[in-house]
Amino acid sequence: MMIHPSYKEMIAAVNSEIEDGTVPVVSSRYSIVMATAKRARQIIDGDEPLIENEEEKKPLSIAVDEVFKGEVKILPEETNK
């Protein structure tokens, strides 16, 4: 079974707005999973979806679509020094 969008497509979409030579915002599947899970929890807790939900999708599917379409921005983690 193929999941769409794939992790590679999600990572490329999230990193599409960064300038050449800068560190990617997301470089791992873990980061994508954590970001979409966090957004899905926000939707479950009452936040309005940022995209049309014409198919009555589940919160995680909505979150994946929001991240992939650039409606939700993932911020790079700050390093503790």
Would you say residue 17 has pLDDT above 80? Answer: no
The pLDDT-based confidence of 79 (bands split at 50, 70, 90) is very low
Would you say residue 49 has pLDDT above 60? Answer: yes
Record the tokens describing residue 7, joined without a space: 């992790």
- Tell me: the pLDDT tens digits for 19-33? 666 666 777 788 888
Would you say residue 1 has pLDDT above 70? Answer: no
Domain ranges of the chain: 7-15+23-68
Amino acid 76: pLDDT? 66
Q: How many beta carbons lie within 10 A of that of residue 10, not counting itself?
A: 23
Distance of alpha carbon 81 from alpha carbon 40, whole angstroms: 31
